[in-house]
Amino acid sequence: MASNPQAKSSFHMSPEEFREQGHAVVDWIANYYRRIESFPVMSRVLPGEIRESLPKEAPVQPEPFERILGDIEKIILPGITHWQSPNFFAYFPSNASGPAILGDLLASGFGVQGMLWATSPACTELETHVLDWLVTALALPGKFRSAGNGGGVIQDTASSSALCAVLAARERATNFEANRAGARQKMTAYTSSQSHSSIEKAIKIAGLGSDNLRLIEVDESFAMRPAMLADAVKLDKAAGRIPFFVCGTVGTTSSNGMDPLEEIGRVCREFNLWFHVDSAMSGTAAICPEFRHFQEGIEYADSYCFNPHKWMFTNFDCDCFYVADRKALIEALSVLPEYLRNKATESGAVIDYRDWHVPLGRRFRALKLWFVLRYYGIEGLQFHVREHVRLAQEFAKWVLGDKRFELVVPPPLNLVCFRLNASDEVNQQLMDALNRSGDLFLTHTKLRGRLVLRMSIGQTNTAQHHLEKAWERIQEEASRLV
The site for ligand PLP (CB under 6 A) is made up of 92, 157-159, 196, 198, 249, 251-253, 278, 280-281, 307, 319
Q: How far is the CB of 176 from ligand PLP (least distance, A)?
A: 26
d(CA 133, CA 337): 33
Of 370, 384, 398, 290, nearest to 123 by C-alpha is 370
Q: Give the C-alpha distances (Å, rounded to integers) separating 178 from 164, 169, 172, 185, 282.
A: 14, 10, 9, 10, 33
d(CA 128, CA 112): 17
State which residue, 201 or 266, has the beta carbon closest to ligand PLP. Answer: 201
Q: How far is the CB of 16 from ligand PLP (least distance, A)?
A: 39
Cα 244–chain centre separation: 25
State which residue, 253 or 382, has the beta carbon closest to ligand PLP. Answer: 253
Q: How far is the CB of 165 from ligand PLP (least distance, A)?
A: 12
Q: How far is the CB of 155 from ligand PLP (least distance, A)?
A: 8
Q: How far is the CB of 368 from ligand PLP (least distance, A)?
A: 15
d(CA 399, CA 157): 33
State which residue, 21 or 157, has the beta carbon closest to ligand PLP. Answer: 157
**Torsions phi, psi for 181 (to 5 deg):** -55, 135
SS3 letters across 135-188: HHHCCCCHHHCCCCCCEEEEECCHHHHHHHHHHHHHHHHCCCCCCCCCCCCCEE
- Bond into 317 cis (ω within 30): yes
State which residue, 319 or 352, has the beta carbon closest to ligand PLP. Answer: 319
State which residue, 158 or 447, has the beta carbon closest to ligand PLP. Answer: 158
| Amino acid in position 88 | F
d(CA 198, CA 205): 10
State which residue, 90 or 381, has the beta carbon closest to ligand PLP. Answer: 90
Report how many helices (DSSP H) and strands (DSSP E) the chain contains, helices first.
15, 11
Q: How far is the CB of 159 from ligand PLP (least distance, A)?
A: 3
Q: How far is the CB of 166 from ligand PLP (least distance, A)?
A: 13
75 DSSP assignment: I
State which residue, 162 or 178, has the beta carbon closest to ligand PLP. Answer: 162
